[in-house]
Chains A and B, each alone.
Chain A
């Protein structure tokens, strides 16, 4: 079965440091890839998505992600973390014509002052 793996259920960074959240998918068919963010007591909000155009995708709040087919990865980065980035981040994938969005297990980001 196709799957999505997020390495690290908890990631802590200092304010101003690089944020790197990892996402790998298992598939030989290039998928559509999404990163969503969930702030406390809120629903999910789209950060960015890859839909087979540019491999480097820029999103909201200074986040970006790079699709690497050879590594089956779609890692999320931000050069400088802010306290307001503290949230849970989910990588999600849709394959081909499927309508089903498959989520990773999530990564809780903590930003330390």
Chain B
């Protein structure tokens, strides 16, 4: 089944404790992206990648890191989480091309205490 998977689905952590949210897709997509969803703000892009070893900032990159060492994986790293990073996070992937549909993972709900 074609899908985007994220782990963990739920995470509670404390300020300053490094964490990684994994994202993997099995559709051989070149493009991958991370978004955060906050009430009343819709989804905002954190980082995106157009291919292996090619990443770029989205609208809200501060406090986040990403890497793309393999085509299928695109982990999101929070080196020192803060409470304002409490949010619902989505990973997405697509073929290259502005008109291509992005396929979303099920989301990771993060609470930073």
Contact = CB atoms under 8 A, between A and B. Distances in A.
Interface string B91-103: 0100010110110
Contacts, number: 58
Main secondary structure on A side of the interface with B = loop
A49 B42 contact: no
A43 B98 contact: no
Contacts of B43: 44, 90, 92, 103
Contacts of A6: 42
Interface of B: 4, 31, 33, 35, 40-45, 48, 50, 58-59, 90, 92, 96, 98-99, 101-102, 104-107
Given A34-B101, A94-B98, A94-B99, 18 more contacts: A36-B104, A43-B4, A43-B90, A43-B107, A44-B104, A46-B101, A49-B99, A90-B43, A92-B43, A99-B31, A99-B48, A99-B50, A100-B59, A101-B45, A102-B45, A103-B35, A103-B42, A106-B42
